[in-house]
A and B are shown apart, each in its own frame.
Chain A
Amino acid sequence: MFAYIIRRLFQGALVLAIVGFIAFCMFRFIGDPYENILGQDATVQDRLALEERLGLNDPIPVQYFKFLGNAVQGEFGVSYRNGIPVAEMIAQRLPATIELAVVSAIFAVVLGVLFGVYTAINRDGFLANFIMTSSLIGVSLPTFLIGILLIWVFAVELKMLPSFGRGETVDVFGWKTGLLTASGLKSLILPSITLGLYQMTLVMRLVRSEMLEVLRTDYIRFARARGLARRAINFGHALKNTLLPVVTIIGIQLGQIIAFAIITETVFQWPGVGLLFINAVNFVDVPIMATYLLLVGTLFVLINLVVDLLYVIIDPRLRLDGTEAR
């Protein structure tokens, strides 16, 4: 068990080192750092001084390890465009993205699992068929279209919900949250649905097909023959056995929700990291792009680590710590 965690941690570190290398390459090879920092009409002396100051004359591997070392300490350099440390800019915008991602993930997982279980249990029911058919819309419509449709219906026509921004935010221990104000919550609804709809339908269809598979197994039949209540069978036995593949997908989806909130944030002008990234791309603001890459990489590694640990909690067969040979 311990060795399992250590191995996973090691693999995660390796992945991050590679992501770090790619981010590092962006610095070196996208654009010209001299030009980016000093401008076009810098003198040779200026260039040499900069080279000395930034360590650009060190061998490439040394530079790489310096870069990694700085990144580990939360030092990601300064934005080319407005001269503010990148770490500060990201920290300022991260709460918005995290709140959006968490809310839409909860929306996707809770509704996805509920609908999935419902459609699996009532396979031929009218409502189940209706849900299945309409889920095709969620799977096939692109995110930006859903966002624009929602804005059109709920913001433009019905004028019920705001079409952009975060609304009012409250500062809680340095974390700007929109979850505590009415306008903040209202502003969250449309972007969360936009971001979570695809994931919700995906989770639902996965839960449904896994559940149908499990409901056919002998142990479910035996559970019925034991006279257990329907609810105990469906949720205590069947759902639990569908969780393993579902947790994997949910983990990956969660990473995607955070990483690819870009589109939703653009559509709703949501002041999060994704919007920051898109703007950085427009201005070739390499430090921000590289940091974003590292951030997303770290998130994926962390989520996968959590998923791996969840496996062990869910499935006793994976607890290979020698205790099974009793």
Chain B
Amino acid sequence: MTEHTLLEVKDLKVQIPTRRGVLTPVNEVSFTIGRGEIVGVVGESGAGKSITGSAIIGLLDRPARISSGSVTLQGEVISGLNEEQLRRVRGKRIGTVFQDPLTSLDPLMSIGDQLSETAMAHLAISREAAREKALQALIDVGIPAAESRLDAYPHEFSGGMRQRVVIALALIGEPDLIIADEPTTALDVSVQAQVLMLLKRLCRERNTGVMLITHDMGVIAETTDRVVVLYAGRVAEIGNTEQVLTSAKHPYTRGLVGATPNPANMDGDNARLNQIPGSMPGLLALPTGCPFHPRCSEVMPVCKTEQPALTPLGDTTIACHLATEASA
């Protein structure tokens, strides 16, 4: 952990006790986010992306809980803080953007009030100053005629505009880190890029770190500096975005990249997308060894019995027997 590190997630394990056994949706996940760095967390549905995000801000729904591992923010361990201490972390030091802007805002409160309420919860400022700040926040996220819209209610905004309001809410406490959980999935394609670029620009301006949770490799390519690839609750690969996109080492990452439409890769009539055969295993029936081995095209005998350890390999960190063996 260096001085540059903003967030360090170490061996994070989240477990959910159920009647049919204990589920482990997040299993020994480790990664770091530097100050002002945008890190993408990518994986299929159920890979544990959102739960990782919720675990970091202490918003796991019961009975899910962090069973081991730690989350460290600016040198302070925040996993295991009590509710009131966590409340002061949320919004103030870690802002959050949720997937669906249509349901993220309280329908009965004007957005100006929601913004100033959040500002007043974290910054010791008066109601008037909070309203000023709310106005500035709306201007920053590019809401036209912001002053006249402070008293408007969420239903008076379009989806894209609402997500801008949500971003304003996430940033108003001046956090050092934003966790954005699929921030553009619910939006029109035409608006997605705008919102992403806005998020990226604002975080760059303020040197805010971003954990961008998505299943969209296109979003990863456009926005992030580094990528964490999750599979069945485990880290498959971590690396620089460019390196991961062009020369991924993990077969799963290669599969994900290959399954993304890219005009440059397609040659005319042969334009078929690759797909990864099969689907991700359920948490109750995880295979032995590497969780990806039943779907892997380059499976080796060792993959079926031994869980590959997360190993640094050049610029990347990877959990794959094939990659580590090739380099050995």
Contacts and interface: CB of A to CB of B under 8 A. Distances in A.
Contact of A317 (B89, B96, B107, B117): B107
Interface stretch (A85-93, A152-160, A193-201, A234-242): A234-242
A312 to B, nearest CB: 12
A232 B105 contact: no
B103 A219 contact: yes
Interface string A214-247: 0001110111111111101000110011000000
Contacts of B291: none
Interface in B91-109: 91-92, 96, 98, 100, 103-109
Given A225-B91, A326-B152, A241 B57 contact: no
B155 A317 contact: yes
A316 interface: yes
A317 B104 contact: no
B141 interface: no
B51 interface: no
Nearest to A222: B104
Which of the listed residues B90, B100, B173 has the most CB atoms from chain A within 10 Å of its own CB? B90
Given A228-B118, A241-B106, A222 B155 contact: no
A217 B121 contact: no
B51 to A, nearest CB: 13
Interface in B107-128: 107-110, 117-118, 121-122
Contacts of B152: 324, 326
B107 A219 contact: yes
A314 B89 contact: no
A226 B106 contact: no
B270 to A, nearest CB: 43
A52 interface: no
Contacts of A218: 98, 100, 103-104
A316 B114 CA distance: 14
B107 A229 contact: no
Given A222-B98, A227-B89, A228-B117, A326 B148 contact: yes
Nearest to A225: B96
Interface in B130-150: 145, 148-149
Contact of A232 (B104, B121, B153): B121
Which of the listed residues A228, A230, A232 has the most CB atoms from chain B within 10 Å of its own CB? A228
B121 A314 contact: no
B156 interface: yes
B76 to A, nearest CB: 16
Report, as a range, how many residues of chain B touch the other chain: 35 or more
A227 B91 contact: yes
B155 A237 contact: no
A310 B118 CA distance: 27
Which of the listed residues B91, B149, B166 has the most CB atoms from chain A within 10 Å of its own CB? B91
Which of the listed residues B96, B107, B108, B149 has the most CB atoms from chain A within 10 Å of its own CB? B108
B99 to A, nearest CB: 8
B59 interface: yes
A225 B57 CA distance: 7
A35 interface: no
Contacts of A237: 106, 108-109
B176 to A, nearest CB: 14
Given A237-B106, A316-B108, A317-B153, A226 B121 contact: yes
B319 to A, nearest CB: 30
Interface in A15-34: none
A51 interface: no
A125 B154 CA distance: 35
Interface in B194-232: none
A58 interface: no
B117 to A, nearest CB: 7
B82 to A, nearest CB: 12
Interface string B66-87: 0000000000000000010001
B155 A221 contact: no
B156 A324 contact: yes
Contacts of A222: 96, 98, 104-105, 166, 169
B88 interface: yes
A213 interface: no
Contact of B121 (A228, A316, A317): A228
27 contacts: A218-B98, A219-B103, A219-B104, A219-B106, A221-B98, A222-B169, A224-B59, A225-B57, A225-B59, A225-B91, A225-B96, A226-B90, A227-B88, A227-B118, A228-B117, A228-B121, A229-B87, A236-B117, A237-B106, A241-B106, A241-B108, A314-B108, A315-B107, A316-B110, A316-B153, A316-B155, A326-B145
Given A222-B105, A240-B109, A317-B155, 10 more contacts: A218-B103, A222-B166, A225-B90, A227-B88, A228-B117, A228-B118, A232-B117, A314-B108, A316-B107, A326-B148
Which 3 residue pairs of A and B lie closest in terms of their CB atoms, listed nearest first?
A227-B91, A227-B90, A225-B96
